[in-house]
């Protein structure tokens, strides 16, 4: 029976439609807020917990945007969930307090900068999640892309 690692994250936006990215201290590229799901924890609960731990805020987390099956030779199979965090109000942005042991920075970036800032499979996943906003159903992805049917 498969036992994939699972993680959940959220996309947050500013009033210009730019995406909030975080800069981990332990990786060379940017990420979205989120992290691994703990035993007995739902993906949504993990997303809320990780956002609170990493950013120090507890905004409403909205709909599921994508589920991505993302196998990795180094880490094995993964199932990754991305939720819609919506637009952060200026007060919420001002209240962000980064987990200093884990994150170096948080910044909003336009979607056209994602390929430069994120690893390729995460850039694909985030772009698919942005496209899925406002749609009736989340997108199922494999390695960050819509599978061939």
**pLDDT tens digits for range 63-102:** 999 999 999 888 899 999 999 999 999 999 999 999 999 9
Residue 76 makes CB contacts below 8 A (sequence gap 6+) with: 4, 5
Q: Which of 28, 34, 11, 31 is nearest to 122 (CA)?
A: 31
Q: Which residues pair with 68 in a beta bridge?
A: 80, 141
Q: Which residues pair with 139 in a beta bridge?
A: 66
Pairing of strands 78-87, 103-109: unpaired
Domains of the chain: 5-135 (3.90.79.10)
pLDDT beyond 90 at 143:
yes
| Residue position matching structure tokens 């307090």 | 97
| Helix, strand, or coil (residue 126) | helix
Select the more confidently predicted residue: 149 or 74.
Answer: 74
Pairing of strands 78-87, 5-13: parallel
Kindly report, residue by residue over 105-123, the tens digit of the pLDDT: 999 999 999 999 999 999 9
pTM for the model:
0.95
Phi-psi region of 2 (alpha: psi -120 to 50; beta: other; left: phi over 0): beta
């Amino acid at each position: 029976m498969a036992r994939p690692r699972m993680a959940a994250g959220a996309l947050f936006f500013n009033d210009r439609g730019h995406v909030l990215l975080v800069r981990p201290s332990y990786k060379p590229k940017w990420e979205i807020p989120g992290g691994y799901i703990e035993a007995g924890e739902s993906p949504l609960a993990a997303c809320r917990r990780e956002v609170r731990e990493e950013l120090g805020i507890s905004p409403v987390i909205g709909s599921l945007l994508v589920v991505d099956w993302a196998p990795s030779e180094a880490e094995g199979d993964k199932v990754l969930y991305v939720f819609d965090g919506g637009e952060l109000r200026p007060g919420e942005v001002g209240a962000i307090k980064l987990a200093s042991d884990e994150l170096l920075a948080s910044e909003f970036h336009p979607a056209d900068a994602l390929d430069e800032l994120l690893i390729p499979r995460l850039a694909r996943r985030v772009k698919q999640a942005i496209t899925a906003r406002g749609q009736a159903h989340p997108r199922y992805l494999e390695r960050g892309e819509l599978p061939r049917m």
